[in-house]
């Protein structure tokens, strides 16, 4: 089915053009280095925590996923199904995920008051509304800085099948910028140049480090540190290129997950978690259904459901889910009102996400919308509440700020607090 977002937003690409994107700037320098947070990571006495975000770009419909309203004027044609949690029902388009709901919690009372793609995405991935002239760290960069073990050779933030934005790291520095796997492939140039021995390569790196150190003496070292960090990260990637070898994924796994791109990306995310990558983001696109909402959700959720459920099940079976926070989110939901093109438009007023794993009370449901889904009537929350919850779920004190140049920056909106009802 060929699809073009009806809103015409430049933020959206076709699936084909998106997947043909190339790795961008993840190893480049940005801004200023900021402070490391090794001390905060060392304070986590439990096993290393990891985070995986499934980003359903364009805005998946809450009515066709987590908060269905069958039989109402806004409900649409689909019915609900029972889940592995008695009394909790979700849309029938998610039969595999329904069997894993005992691992997941639902937040059904989100109101971000934002219906713009870019602004909504910023709130959900940074925890704040965008501020002119300043970039808050992306959730992936924040977790990379706080949870990645000191001296780890692995990148802390990997974006599977998506573009990488060096600005995500903000003042946390390039060490915590995303590394993108274009079309789910390993980054380019992970091997030494042909004809260069390991000894020659080591000498070259030592020379670069010495020159950089000499250059930074007596100067403001910010940019030099940023470039050095980029080179160091590249060297680390080369040393651990094995984590990007996805050729060992078995046919049995593909049979369980599926053979389309999103299924493959979920299997890649599983391997990254197994290898200790702190934060992994997996994209699934084209949910901006201003027309033919129901047909497109049949297609899109038909792709999403089975591999996502298999991912959750595998992490649970392998003992990884207890320390891995899994978040399914997007920039906003869809309007309860069905428009004249049988579509749903942008809706940031009353919508839902799913979250599970580390620190989350599986099977919990918090928040409630009215009978036809037009407003939140119980436990309304926004992006700030969600960020406090994510941090608390992995054992981080969200009230303690980041610091840069002796200036504090709140990790999450101080006017909000964690959603304790879904925390274990």
CATH number at residue 222: 3.40.720
Range(s) of the domain holding residue 321: 15-422
pLDDT of residue 229: 62
pLDDT recorded at residue 163: 77
Residue 2 inside a domain? The answer is: no
**Domain assignment of residue 113, yes or no:** yes
Q: Does residue 124 carry a pLDDT above 80? A: yes
pLDDT band at 247 (very low <50, low <70, confident <90, very high): confident
pLDDT more than 90, % of the chain: 69
Task: Report whether pLDDT(183) > 90.
Answer: no
21 touches 261 (CB < 8 A): no
Using the Cα atoms of residue 211, residue 215, residue 221 and residue 224 in order, give the sign of their dihedral. Answer: negative
Q: Per residue in 311-336, pLDDT tens?
A: 999 999 999 999 999 999 999 999 99
Which of 17-26, 128-137, 182-191, 288-297 has the lowest average pLDDT?
A: 17-26
Q: How is residue 217 annotated by DSSP?
A: T
340 burial type by CB count under 10 A (0-12 exposed, 13-18 middle, 19+ buried): exposed
Provide the mean pLDDT of the chain: 86
Q: Are 400 and 88 in contact (CB under 8 A)?
A: no
Residue 10, in any domain of the structure: no
CA separation (Å) from 257 to 96, 149, 201, 354? 11, 31, 40, 20
Answer whether residue 268 is part of any domain. Answer: yes
Greater confidence, 93 or 38?
93
Q: Does residue 1 lie within any of the structural domains?
A: no
d(CA 278, CA 159): 11
- The reply to whether 22 falls in a domain is yes
Least confident of 55-69, 209-223, 265-279, 291-305: 209-223
Q: Please report, to the nearest 10 degrees, the dihedral formed by the alpha carbons of residues 287, 290, 295, 296 taken in order.
A: -20
Contacts of residue 251, defined as CB under 8 A and 6 or more positions apart, other chains included, come to: none
Residue 140 covered by a domain: yes
Closest among 79, 68, 77, 81 to 108, alpha carbons compared: 68
In a domain, 7, yes or no: no
Question: pLDDT digits over 32-89, tens only?
Answer: 333 334 444 444 434 799 999 999 999 999 999 999 999 999 999 999 999 999 999 9
Number of domains observed in the structure of the chain: 1
Strand runs (DSSP E) across 170-302, as ranges? 179-181, 279-284
236 pLDDT exceeds 90?
A: no
């Amino acid at each position: 089915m060929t699809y073009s977002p009806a809103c015409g937003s430049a933020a959206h690409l076709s699936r084909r053009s998106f997947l043909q994107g190339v790795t961008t700037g993840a190893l480049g320098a940005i801004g200023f280095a900021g402070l490391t947070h090794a001390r905060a990571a060392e304070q986590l006495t439990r096993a290393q925590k990891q985070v995986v975000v499934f980003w359903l770009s364009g805005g998946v419909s809450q009515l066709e996923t987590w908060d269905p309203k069958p039989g109402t004027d806004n409900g649409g044609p689909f019915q609900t199904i029972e889940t592995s949690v008695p009394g909790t029902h979700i849309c029938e388009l998610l039969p595999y995920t329904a069997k894993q709901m005992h691992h997941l919690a639902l937040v059904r009372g989100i109101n971000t008051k934002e219906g713009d793609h870019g602004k909504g995405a910023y709130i959900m991935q940074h925890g704040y509304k965008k501020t002119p002239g300043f970039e808050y760290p992306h959730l992936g960069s924040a977790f990379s800085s706080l949870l990645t073990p000191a001296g780890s050779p692995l990148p802390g933030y990997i974006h599977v099948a998506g573009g990488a934005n060096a600005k995500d790291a903000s003042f946390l520095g390039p060490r915590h910028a995303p590394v993108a796997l274009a079309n789910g492939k390993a980054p380019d140039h992970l091997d030494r140049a042909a004809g260069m021995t390991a000894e020659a390569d080591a000498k070259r790196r030592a020379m670069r480090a010495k020159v950089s150190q000499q250059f930074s003496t007596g100067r403001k070292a910010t940019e030099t540190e940023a470039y050095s960090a980029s080179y160091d990260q590249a060297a680390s990637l080369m040393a651990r290129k094995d984590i990007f070898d996805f050729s060992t994924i078995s046919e049995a796994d593909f049979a369980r997950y599926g053979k389309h791109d999103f299924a493959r990306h979920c299997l890649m995310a599983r391997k990254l978690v197994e290898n200790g990558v702190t934060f992994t983001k997996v994209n699934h696109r084209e949910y901006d259904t201003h027309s033919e909402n129901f047909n497109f959700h049949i297609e899109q959720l038909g792709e999403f459901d089975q591999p996502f459920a298999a991912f959750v099940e595998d992490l649970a079976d392998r003992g990884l889910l207890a320390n891995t926070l899994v978040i399914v989110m997007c920039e906003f939901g869809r309007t309860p009102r069905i428009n004249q093109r049988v579509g749903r438009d942008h809706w940031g007023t009353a919508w839902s996400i799913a979250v599970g794993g580390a620190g989350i009370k599986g099977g919990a449901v918090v928040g409630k919308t009215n009978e036809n889904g037009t407003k939140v009537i119980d436990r309304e929350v926004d992006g700030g509440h969600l960020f406090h919850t994510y941090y608390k779920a992995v054992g981080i004190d969200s009230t303690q700020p980041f610091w840069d140049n002796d200036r504090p920056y709140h990790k999450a909106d101080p006017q909000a607090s964690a959603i304790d009802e879904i925390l274990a």
